[in-house]
Chains A and B, each alone.
Chain A
Amino acid sequence: MSAILEVKNVTRRFAGLVAVSDISFTLGKNEILGVIGPNGAGKTTLVSLISGTLRPTSGEIFFEGSRITHLAAYRRARLGIGRTFQIMRPFPGLSVLDNVAVGALFGHGSGESDLAKAREKARAQLDVVGLGKFASQRAEELGGPNRKRLELAKALAMQPKVLLCDEVMAGLNLVEIDEVIEVLRKIRASGISILVIEHVIKAIKKLSDRLLVLHHGNKIADGPPDAVLSNSEVIEAYLGSRRA
C-alpha cells in the first residue's frame, strides 16, 4: 500500500513543553489509521501539524510524495487534506447548509465557483452524514452530536483525499457511535484515507486497519489493533502506575 501521507521525525515545542517528539509514521492509501493515547499525548497537536494550523519545530511532512511541512493551511486544504476539530469550528451565524457549502466552494482543487452548485453539493454531503433536515437552521442552534456531524460534512464537502478526524465520537451514545463508524466506512469506500483520533477504544478497534499510540508526545506503538492493544507498554500508559 503506497503512503498518501508521510510524517518524518516531527517534533513540536511550545516554549519549554514538548507536545510532539520525533514522531514518524505513514498513512496508506485508503487506509483507516486510528490514533489513541491518554489526554495530553499530543494527538490534536499532531493533526494540527498535518493540517497546517501549526508548523513543526523540526521534521518533515509529505503528502502524495511532495513536501508540505511549511505550506499554508489553506493550500493544504486545496491539495486535499480535510480535518474536523475536536473543539468544533462551525460558522455560527451561517445556516448548516452554507457551513458545508464553504467547503464545496474552497476545497480540493480550485473548488466550485457557483454558489447554487456549491449548495447542491453541500446538500448531498448533509445527506451522507444524516443532517439533511437541518439544512436551513443556523449552525449555532445545533446540539452536540449534530455539530460533530456538521464538522464531518464540512470536511467532506472539500472532497478531501485525506480526512483527519479529531474525536468525532466524543460524547455520543453507543447507537450514535455505530452510525459514525458506518459513515466513516462509507467514506473510506469512496476512496478517502482516514486518520481517526479517538478515546473510545472499542469503536476504534472495530474501525481501524492500524493503530498508532501516542504517550507524552512519543509514539509508543504502531501496528494492527489486536497486537497494539495487548502491548504491555500501551496498557501501562493507559493504566498508569496502578501496575506496581
Chain B
Amino acid sequence: MTASRLGVVVAVVVVVAVLAALPLFSSDVIIQFGINALLLAVLAQGWNIIGGYTGYASFGNSVFYGLGSYGVAIAMVQWNLPFGVGMIFGAALAVAFAFLLGVPVLRLKGHYFAIATLGLAQVMSAIVSNIGIAGQNIGLVLPPLNNDHLFYELSLGLLVIATLTVFWLTRSRFGFGLIAIRENEEGASVMGVNTTLYKVLAFALSGVFTALAGGIHAYWITFLDPESAFDISLNVKMIIMAVFGGPGTVLGPVLGAFVLSAVSEILSSKVTNLAGLFFGVVVVAAVVLMPRGVADVMRQFRRTGWRYFAENLRAHRI
C-alpha cells in the first residue's frame, strides 16, 4: 500500500472513531442531527450504487425507504417480532421489489427510467395508504425506544457498511461491469457483461441499504404514514446529496450529505424562513458551477484552480 493510500485509510478510521464517540460529549440536539445526517448519508450512498456507478438515476429509491420503514413497522406492530427481524423483512421486501419491477423498468433509458421510477413511487404510496395491515392513511405507531445513542451508533454502523460496499465495488468485477454499463451499455453487453442481471442486482443492493435506513428511521421516530414514508422529496434529497458530493466516488455522497445537512441545519436555525430558499439557490449554483460534485472540485482544484468553474461553464453552455 502506498503512503498516501495508508494516509487515507488512517484518516478514515480516525474520523469513524471520532464520529462513534461523538454522542458521549454532545447534546441531544446534536445527536439527533447526527442520526439524520448519517441516515441521509446512507441513502445518498445507496443511491450512488444505482445512480452514480451504474448510471441509472432512480427516483424510486423512496419506495425502498418506504418498504423498509413499513417492513419494520408491520413486523413489530402487527406481528410482534423483534426489530432485527423487522429489518430483515424490510430488506427482503426491497429486494423483491427490485427484482419484480426492476426488470421491466431498467430496460428504459435515461430520463424515462427516472420518470418510471417516479411513477412507481407515487403508485406505491397510493397503494400503501389503502392497505389495512399498514394502517391505511393513518399509518402505524411503533413501540417506543428512548435511546438516541443506540440509533446513532446503528446509523453510523450502517453507513460504514454501505461505504465499504461501495469501496468493494470499485475493486470488484461486478463493480467494473456496473461502471462499463454506465459508460456505454451497448458496448458493455457486446463485451460479455450481462447487463440486465447486473442492473437488477445494483438496484437491489441500492434498495437494501435504503430500506435498512428506512427501518432505523421508523423505529427511531416511532411513527410513520404513507406520505412521509414514500416521500419523493426524500428521494430528491438523496440524489442532490450524492450528486453534490460526487456521484461514482466512494466518499462523495457521504461528504455531500454531511455538508448539505449542516448547511441546511445552520440556515434553518439562523434564518428560518429563508432556509429552504437558500437550499434551492445552493443547488442551482452547484449544478452550474460544479456539475461533477464536490469530490471532483477537491480533486481538480489543486491542478486548475479557479479556472475549474469557468471551464465547466464553457463546456456546458450554448
Contact = CB atoms under 8 A, between A and B. Distances in A.
- Counting contact residues on chain A (CB < 8 A from B), the size range is 20 to 34
A13 B183 CA distance: 29
B110 to A, nearest CB: 16
Nearest to A110: B192
Interface in A104-126: 105-108, 111-113, 115, 118
28 contacts: A52-B190, A73-B189, A74-B189, A74-B192, A74-B193, A77-B190, A89-B184, A89-B186, A89-B187, A90-B183, A91-B180, A91-B184, A91-B188, A92-B183, A93-B182, A94-B179, A94-B180, A102-B177, A105-B177, A106-B177, A106-B180, A106-B188, A106-B193, A107-B191, A111-B173, A113-B173, A115-B171, A115-B176
Interface string B167-202: 000011100110110111011111111110000000
Interface of B: 171-173, 176-177, 179-180, 182-184, 186-195
Nearest to A101: B176
Nearest to A154: B191
A53 interface: yes
Contacts of B179: 91, 93-94
Most buried by B among A98, A102, A111, A112: A102
Interface in A43-97: 51-53, 72-74, 77-78, 82-83, 85, 89-94
B interface, over-half SS: helix
Contacts of B183: 90-94
Contacts, number: 83
Contacts of A113: 173
A217 interface: no
Nearest to B181: A91
Given A105-B173, A106-B177, A115-B171, A158 B184 contact: no
The 8 closest A-B pairs by CB, nearest first: A106-B192, A91-B183, A89-B187, A77-B192, A73-B189, A74-B189, A102-B180, A78-B192
B191 A103 contact: yes
Most buried by A among B176, B177, B184, B192: B192
